[in-house]
Amino acid sequence: MFDKILIANRGEIACRVIKTARRLGIKTVAVYSDADRDALHVEMADEAVHLGPAPAAQSYLDIDKIVAACRQTGAQAVHPGYGFLSEREAFPKALAEAGIVFIGPNPAAIAAMGDKIESKKAAAAAKVSTVPGFLGIIENPEQAVTIADEIGYPVMIKASAGGGGKGMRIAYSAGEVAEGFARAKSEAASSFGDDRVFIEKFITDPRHIEIQVLGDKHGNVIYLGERECSIQRRNQKVIEEAPSPLLDEATRRLMGEQAVALAKAVGYDSAGTVEFVAGQDKSFYFLEMNTRLQVEHPVTEMITGIDLVEEMIRVAAGEKLRLSQGDVKLRGWAVESRIYAEDPVRNFLPSTGRLVTYRPPQEGQEGEVSVRNDTGVYEGGEISIYYDPMIAKLVTHAPSREQAIAAQAKALDAFAIDGIRHNIPFLSALMHHPRWQEGQLSTGFIAEEFPQGFKPAQPVGEIARRIVAVGAAIDHLSNERKRQISGQMRPHGTVRFDRERAVMVGPDRYDVVIEDIEDGIAVVMDGEAWPIASGWRPGEPVWTGSVGGETVAVQVRPILNGVFLSHAGASAEVRVYTRREAELVALMPEKVEADTGKKLLCPMPGLVKVVSVKEGQEVKAGEPLCIVEAMKMENVLRAERDATVTKIHAKEGDSLSVDAVIMEFA
């Protein structure tokens, strides 16, 4: 076993590897860039080596610098985490030349699975299900129909040189194939100067399901069940779970055995993932193999009890797998939410800045429910523009899927983050979405269920009543504290506090009465009493307690004359008045926000890469105006309507804050 390993990564995955290494008694070396000088993984490791400037190409992606760091510290092995150098064949080769062990698969396996076309050929040779299709030249509509009949409907007709949806048709019958073939050839010729098309099976309502495999250097390979990762946006996973609500035991075994066959065919000898696209009928087809540890590996660890990082280290040290396939048992259900520094209301654009508040829910096990939070940040730390915007991975495990989802929803409600925008409101809304709860998933879920983008829901029904009760309890506590302030002038006689209140939840009014009960207070709404019990104190970002006998967590943010409350995927400004005050407030004029329609505002903090227009230039709707880069993403900002550019405030190279004015229009 190694005495010391280096982690060639940053953020939560570096912290994750350090935790396992520490438990195994292995010393760790962190590497860091200028931007990560004060990062959590640097603090956690036994040693740390500075690599260079913030851009990854000059630090985390520089193989020579990482090899030099190993030599400097005496690290015997390197864990690559995920991303960066984890799937670059050149990295383990360079380490091997320096006499350093790579904690991952051998270079040949990385190369075999890194090329998408070659990997599909390898999968087909290993008798893994691949998408049925005909890749040869199709001469005429009759041949196209014959091929489609053999494949089975629906089919996708695609231009061989295609892209951007040109020369692409979906056909559900022989008649549609004949017509689609002609249209696809015509489009392909005009768009690409190449009229060749091919046909493959079209998977309707596809799901993304992957199999975790684990191999050693002695030829042993096993599979550890599956993960479902169908909840995606822009092809990036948002929520993962294990096992999948789609699969039965027979399909799981079939997928697992095919994944193992592929892994053995390429001599795979570490943790890896074979990804499949699956139909709603449980049909499945090979997509690709990721030759590294996956971001979502915790859900597999939770249902199997196997530490994948530990197994990777043991395999790299030459040990045989300690498990056979028969030893692998799946217990309960696990759900993982990826918490990102991004604004879901602004089409998930990245958000950067300082974590003024970072209070994750309590980790550990309570009853049959476990909560785990993998993170690489801390309160007061900064979210940099240079790297992936992930803040944490929140994982819950319980005996059933329903319980794991309920636990995840409660944990998200208790997760307080301030200082940046984040996607917790969106994740919370997803946990309460009926289609998600029913397991009716597909990779198009977010696009189908949120076609106009995400907007936090206004509280209704049971959720609204909980928010009303908490808002009234917070206001009552505030009033009680104010009456304890010393030195106040007191009127003659007994002061009676008005217990009849009007709670405004956004535009909606709820009339309540505050009653004293033995253990505190009860909020009475529509004749029903809601007992309230909580140890919450003003200033705490999360209100926790019981409402009507049910344990709840509610996010609390102070606003002028009230609080902003978020719970169960719904959010609202809450203000509590006397009944007379509520009548007067209803008469107050509303402030109308200023019209910013004639200005282009920077949607997130970032760097101006390109300004595509000049002052006085006329632009058409959809025309690119500029490119702003943040967190490795280049965001093209386009004109929303026809206009003339009157003033440009930003130039290439400028670093802008959110809502900074880039240009104005007439």
Average pLDDT over all residues of the chain: 92
Helix, strand or coil for residue 210? strand
Task: Give the separation between CA 462 and CA 468, rounded to whole angstroms.
Answer: 10
Helix or strand run (H / E) with residue 277: strand 271-278
Residue 311: predicted pLDDT:
98
CATH superfamily of 339-455: ATP-grasp fold, B domain (3.30.470.20)
Region of poorest pLDDT, from 120-134, 535-549, 579-593, 617-631: 579-593
Q: Is residue 166 over pLDDT 70?
A: no
Contact partners, residue 496, CB within 8 Å, separation at least 6: none
Q: Which residues contact 439 (CB under 8 A, 6 or more apart)?
A: 245, 246, 401
Tens of pLDDT, residues 547-591: 999 999 999 999 999 999 999 999 999 999 999 999 998 888 876
For tokens 């995400």, name the residue. Answer: 454
- The tens digit of pLDDT for each residue in 144-165 reads 999 999 999 999 888 876 655 6
CA distance 106 to 155: 37
**Pure H helices in 24-160:** 40-44, 63-73, 90-97, 107-114, 116-125, 141-151
Q: How far, in whole angstroms, is CA 251 from its chain's centroid?
A: 27
Q: Do β-strands 4-7 and 27-33 pair in parallel, antiparallel, or remain unpaired?
A: parallel
pLDDT of amino acid 74: 98
- Mean per-residue pLDDT for 63-85? 97
Of the candidate ranges 54-58, 320-324, 639-643, the one whose mean pLDDT is the lowest: 639-643
Could you tell me the CA-to-CA distances from 552 to 474, 560, 576, 608 in Å, in that order?
14, 25, 20, 43
Query: Does 522 have pLDDT greater than 90?
Result: yes
pLDDT of 593: 59
pLDDT band of 91, cuts 50, 70, 90: very high
**R_g of the chain computed on alpha carbons:** 29
Q: CB-side exposure of 620: number of CA atoms within 13 Å? A: 0
- Range of weakest confidence among 66-70, 417-421, 654-658: 654-658
CB 293 within 8 Å of CB 81? yes
Residue range 657-666: mean pLDDT, rounded: 91
What's the pLDDT at 463? 95
Query: Is 348 a residue whose pLDDT tops 80?
Result: yes
At 359 the pLDDT is 97
Comparing CA positions, the residue from 306, 302, 360, 305 lying closest to residue 335 is 302
CA distance 237 to 249: 25
pLDDT of 139 strictly over 60? yes
Determine if the peptide bond prior to 605 is cis (ω within 30°). Answer: no
Distance CA 280, CA 152 (A): 16
- Residue 288 is a catalytic residue: yes
Q: In this predicted structure, what is the pLDDT of residue 198?
A: 82
Chain centre distance of CA 139? 45
pLDDT given for residue 378 in this prediction? 96
Both structure tokens of 123: 């999968």
Over range 426-449, report the average pLDDT: 96
Long-range contacts of 138-143 (CB under 8 A, 24+ apart): 138/181, 138/196, 138/197, 138/198, 138/199, 141/177, 141/178, 141/181, 141/182, 142/178
List 47, 89, 257, 288, catalytic entry: 288
Residue 57 DSSP code: G
Residues 6+ apart with CB under 8 A from 166: 159, 187, 188, 191, 192
Q: Provide, rounded to the nearest whole percent, the portion of the chain with pLDDT above 90.
A: 76
User: In which band, very low, low, confident or very high, does the pLDDT at 132 lie, cut at 50, 70 and 90?
Assistant: confident
CATH class of 599-665: mainly beta
CA 385, CA 54: separation in Å to the nearest integer?
10
Closest to 563 measured CA to CA, from 481, 485, 498, 468? 468
CATH (residue range 133-201): 3.30.1490.20
- pLDDT of 107 > 70? The answer is yes
pLDDT at 116: 65
* pLDDT tens-digit readout, 385-429: 888 889 999 999 999 999 999 999 999 999 999 999 999 999 999
pLDDT at 476: 93
Cβ of 314: how many Cβ atoms within 10 Å?
Answer: 19
**pLDDT tens, position by position, 227-241:** 999 999 877 899 999
- Are 116-131+206-331 and 339-455 equal in CATH topology? yes
- Tokens 């304890």 found at: 484
The pTM of this model reads: 0.84
Residue 444 has pLDDT above 90, yes or no: yes
User: What confidence tens digit (pLDDT) does each residue in 13-62 have?
Assistant: 999 999 999 999 999 999 999 999 999 999 999 999 999 999 999 999 99
The beta-carbon contacts of 507-511 under 8 Å, at least 24 apart in sequence, are 508/458, 508/464, 509/582, 510/464, 510/465, 510/468, 511/579
- Are 387 and 419 spatial neighbours (Cβ–Cβ below 8 Å)? no
pLDDT reported for residue 493: 61
CATH architecture of the region 461-482+497-585: 2-Layer Sandwich (3.30)
What is residue 135's predicted lDDT score, i.e. its pLDDT? 64
* CA-wise closest residue to 7 among 378, 293, 285, 302: 293
Mean pLDDT of all residues in 612-640 = 86
| Interatomic CA distance for residues 225 and 296, integer angstroms | 13
CATH number of this structure's domain 4-103: 3.40.50.20
Q: What is the pLDDT of residue 430?
A: 96
pLDDT score, position 491: 67
Give me the pLDDT at residue 206, please.
Answer: 93
- Contacts (Cβ under 8 Å, ≥6 apart) of 115: none
Give the Cβ contact number of residue 59 at 10 Å. Answer: 23
Task: State residue 346's pLDDT score.
Answer: 83
Query: What is the Cα–Cα distance from 301 to 500, expressed in whole angstroms?
Result: 52
Query: Degrees (nearest 5) of the Cα angle 363, 364, 367?
Result: 130
Does residue 267 sit in helix, strand or coil?
Answer: coil
Helix (H) or strand (E) segment spanning residue 479? helix 461-482
Residue holding tokens 């438990």?
Answer: 23
DSSP state of 457: B
Three-state SS at 276: strand
Rounded CA-CA distance 200/184 in Å is: 14
- pLDDT tops 80 at residue 540: yes
The Cα 160–Cα 158 span in angstroms is: 6
Is residue 595 scored above 70 in pLDDT?
no
Q: Which two tokens stand for residue 339?
A: 């918490």
Q: Which CATH number fits domain 116-131+206-331: 3.30.450.20, 1.50.10.10, 3.30.420.40, 3.30.470.20?
A: 3.30.470.20
Write down the pLDDT at residue 210. Answer: 98
Domain boundaries, the chain: 4-103, 116-131+206-331, 133-201, 339-455, 461-482+497-585, 599-665
Confidence class for position 119, pLDDT limits 50, 70, 90:
confident
Is the predicted pLDDT of residue 92 greater than 80, yes or no? yes
Q: Please give the pLDDT value at position 162.
A: 62
Which of 253, 287, 252 is CA-nearest to residue 273? 287
Confidence of residue 644 (pLDDT cuts 50, 70, 90): very high
**Cβ partners under 8 Å of residue 475, min gap 6:** 501, 503, 576
pLDDT tens digit sequence for 457-511: 999 999 999 999 999 999 999 988 887 788 877 766 655 557 899 999 999 999 9
Q: What is the DSSP string of 574-640?
A: EEEEEHHHHHHHTTSPPPPPPP-TTEEE-SSSEEEEEE---TT-EE-TT-EEEEEEETTEEEEEE-S
Which one, of 123, 140, 148, 146, lies nearest residue 211 by Cα?
123
